[in-house]
Amino acid sequence: MVLAPTRELTIQIYKEFLILSENHISIAPRVKFLRKSHIPKDEAGLKNLTQSTEILIASPLKMGQLCELFPTIRTIETLIVDEADKMFEMGFLEQIDQILVNLPNQASIAKYMFSATM
């Protein structure tokens, strides 16, 4: 999972993943960015999203909404927080905490924070 502070940045990251996976046709369809229309409504929708997604890119607000609907998302192996300094400046710490609390295997999740200004 990749978290970015804005919808625009999630789309930009998504497009970069598609460019990087151009020569690997099997990877491109498994990269998704979470937007309002992709938030599942039920357990079947969540199962479909998690089984068909290798890399999920989202803003903290959208991922927080997903975590509210489905409190225990178990399939996260790696969490990347992009533009971490901006996330904290913009007040997304609460949403990131909410996301982490909802990950039952958080001790085994690899967590990375990136920032262009640090």
- pLDDT, tens digit (0-9, with 9 covering 90-100), for 47-93: 888 887 888 999 999 998 888 888 777 678 899 999 999 898 889 98
Identify the band that residue 25 occupies on the pLDDT scale cut at 50, 70 and 90.
low
Q: Where are the domains of the chain?
A: 2-113
- Report how far residue 51's alpha carbon sits from residue 45's, in angstroms, rounded to the nearest whole number: 10
Query: Which residues does residue 79 pair with via DSSP β-bridges, in sequence order?
Result: 111
Global pTM value: 0.85
Measured over all CA atoms, what is the biggest interatomic distance in the chain, rounded to whole angstroms?
A: 41
Are 60 and 3 in contact by the 8 Å Cβ rule? The answer is yes
Q: Which fold has domain 2-113?
A: Rossmann fold (3.40.50)
